[in-house]
Amino acid sequence: MLRRIPSLGDPRLLVGDNPADDAAVFRLRDDLALVQTLDFFAPIVDDPYAFGQIAAANALSDVYAVGGTPISALNVACFPTGTLPRETLAAILTGGADKAREAGVAIVGGHTVDDDEPKYGLAVTGTVDPDRMITTRGAKPGDLLLLTKPIGTGTIATALKAGAATDAHVRQATRWMTTLNRSASAAMVGAEAHAATDVTGYGLLGHLLDFCRASTVSARIAVSAVPHLPGAPDYIAAGYIPNGSRTNTAYVRDAVDGIDRVGEATWVLLNDPQTSGGLLVAVGPSQLDAFVSQIGPDALASIVGDVTQSRGETRLTLVP
């Protein structure tokens, strides 16, 4: 569909013309560019306030993924005014506003439409120095791949909808989904990371594949080193598999080696569609200590693999 739309062809558009890009970056002057992104979706938890927080953190993440600083946002909301109380919408908007305030972001307006299913998110504007921004295109062979949040939120949400998820597992997932990627972003900028993306709907492998294609490299994933939410593998084994996982596995399968070396539950988990997931960051070995020393207590610095030379085509190799 996008191929039917003429390219902007504006040299001021620094980032935004590649499917792997997390946000658009538009140069204003040599030392300043705008970062723009939009994301919204239907509830994945029952608590409307928590949903608002999650949706806001998720939308802000794309600005953090390029090393930018979010400064303002607009609410985007759909709500069934005839079937749900307006207090529910108020709670969603309050959750989003509180999370934006935590990030130092001003919500300056927005737009709401009547719809059959509630949806919420933000259109976010940020800033970045073009010389310090981090994109998906700079990963180099020999780089280490770091992941800053555990995966499995899609599976937990699917189990929750079926009434099978425990309160403890939902609380753990919610805690990570409402956590901003701010400290992880600051750490990667401070360490002068080579490339980054945030892990969301396409799952860890889907985002890694796009990331590697944009950088014309390949990668290995140390499967046992990938952090995951408690309970996620068990829910997958019990059949609580998000539809997005099936779509994601179909998307990456032909580019992945070593699928037979991991169990089915692990393979599905690596393709779990994340909401407000962590950053996947490529750093040179000499940058690792700087990254770890600068990351806050609200993020992980899990080494989940490394970047390898691409020999004609991008391949992802799973190592048990």
Per-residue pLDDT tens over the stretch 127-139: 999 999 999 999 9
pLDDT for 12 equals 95
pLDDT band at 85 (very low <50, low <70, confident <90, very high): very high
Of the candidates 295, 272, 71, 122, the one whose C-alpha atom is nearest the C-alpha of residue 196 is 295
Q: Are the C-beta atoms of residues 174 and 120 closer than 8 Å to each other?
A: no
The domain locations on the chain are 2-128, 144-319
Share of the chain above pLDDT 90, in %: 94
Chain segment 10-34, per-residue pLDDT in tens: 999 999 877 778 899 999 999 999 9
pLDDT at 204: 98
**Rounded distance between C-alpha atoms, residue 184 and residue 128, angstroms:** 16
Under 8 Å between Cβ of 26 and 68: no
Q: What is the DSSP string of 213-268?
A: HHHT-EEEEEGGGS-B-TTHHHHHHTT---HHHHHHHHHHGGGEE-GGGS-HHHHH
Give tens-digit pLDDT for 187-235. 999 999 999 999 999 999 999 999 999 999 999 999 999 999 999 999 9
CATH no. for 144-319: 3.90.650.10
- Which tens digit of pLDDT belongs to each residue from 99-114? 999 999 999 999 999 9
Is 9's pLDDT higher than 90? no
Domains 2-128 and 144-319 share a fold: no
**Which structure tokens are listed for 312?**
């004609």
Which residues are CB-contacts of 106 (< 8 A; sequence separation ≥ 6)?
71, 72, 73, 100
Beta bridge partners of 148: none
**Mean pLDDT, the chain, whole residue set:** 96
CB distance 225 to 319 below 8 Å: no
pLDDT at 58 over 90: yes
What Å distances lie between residue 262 and 153, 205, 208, 268, CA to CA?
20, 14, 18, 10
Which numeric CATH code is attached to 2-128? 3.30.1330.10
User: How much of the chain, in percent, has pLDDT values that exceed 70?
Assistant: 100
